Amino acid sequence: MTSTETLIPSAPKESISFGRKAAAYLALTKPRVIELLLITTVPVMILAQQGIPNLWLVLATLVGGALSAGSANAFNCIIDTDIDKIMGRTQKRPLVTGELNKPEAQIFAFAIGILSVLWLGLLVNWLSAALALAAQLFYIFIYTLLLKRRTSQNIVWGGAAGAMPVLIGFSSVTGTVTWSAAVLFLMIFLWTPPHYWPLSIKYLADYKAAGVPMLPVVADPKKVASQIVIYSYAMVASTLLLIPVHPMGLVYSATALIGGVWFIVEAHLLQHKTKAGEVKNPMKLFHFSITYLTVLFIAIGVDPLVFVPVI
């Protein structure tokens, strides 16, 4: 190295403002995923209470649940940074753009994960805290590390982590997990594949490039569509199972029946288009599934407040 070279300073790294840094930490938690998880929590708490629960309990449960899910999502981003760089829809995540580095993300993920367990344990109950911890560990170790890159059934079993908020919400009110909570868990578990596989069809090229064996990557499109239909029927059956198990009134029963029929029709339409080789908008079912789940759980929350017997 010459003396001239030693005098040339290296280009300084671009400084990131506090606002951008805070936004990056928020993005690391995948807030839109958390929003969907929390939509299911409050109605379940109302159902468990058979009325309006203590509002401080609701707030504490929501905060703890958001921290727990945020931690799991952050660890997912850390582990999947290599494939997030490849996939178009994930290339703006903060670890890919460099707005956060790996040590920052790790400290943040650990911190809010530990905080979520302590928060729920001290302010809600320790069963809810244990369920939140189980959800985090399952999503990180079972789904992200073990299943995601190894099997086309990844999202099927990964749905168990997404279904945990209903157990957390139910146990926050009752201090226990009953058959009603188990059916609610099953509903989310069975909803996840027909919700996520249309997204996988849309981003098939991304998943293939990243080497992630989502079902649409490794299976014939007709088989994927058939699996979507099968899981749709199973999911709708689970929603109707809640009616005698809890039991539920007319508001929920009508919503589950009408919404379920509509969901099955949409699944069959996707299957028909797949057989015809003209699937241009698989995301229609993806977006509809979010609306369906939201309306269904609103009905779960409203039903106990205006209970009208089915017969």
In CATH, what number is assigned to the domain containing residue 45? 1.10.357.140
Domain count, the chain: 2
Domain ends where: 173, 205, 226? 173
Q: Are residues 129 and 217 in the same domain?
A: no
pLDDT at 180 over 90: yes
Average pLDDT, the chain: 92
Amino acid of residue 196: Y
Tokens of 134: 């189980």
Quick: pLDDT tens for 54-65: 999 999 999 999
Residue 231 within a domain: yes
Q: Give the residue among 177, 168, 208, 199 at the shortest CA–CA distance from 58.
A: 168
pLDDT at residue 235 above 80?
yes
158, 173, 188: which is the final residue of a domain? 173
Tens digit of each residue's pLDDT (9 = 90 or more) over 132-158: 999 999 999 999 999 999 999 999 999
Range of the domain at 86: 20-173
Q: Is the pLDDT of residue 307 over 90?
A: no
Quick one: three-class SS letters along 180-226?
A: HHHHHHHHHHHHHHHHHHHHHHHCHHHHHHHCCCCHHHHCCHHHHHH
The stretch 25-51 carries a mean pLDDT of 91
In 3D space, the residue among 239, 243, 229, 307 whose CA is nearest the CA of residue 275 turns out to be 229
- Band of pLDDT at residue 4, cut at 50, 70 and 90: very low
Q: Are residues 37 and 151 in the same domain?
A: yes
In a domain, 34, yes or no: yes
CATH number at 213 reads 1.20.120.1780
Chain Cα centroid distance, residue 57: 22
| Least confident piece of the model among 168-177, 273-282, 293-302 | 273-282
For residue 131 the two structure tokens come to 């369920």
Contact 113, 151 (CB under 8 A): no
**Same-domain status, 164 and 196:** no
User: CB under 8 Å to 44, separation ≥6 — which residues?
Assistant: 165, 166, 169, 170, 181, 184, 297, 300, 301
56 and 145, same structural domain? yes
What is the predicted pLDDT for the residue at 19? Answer: 84
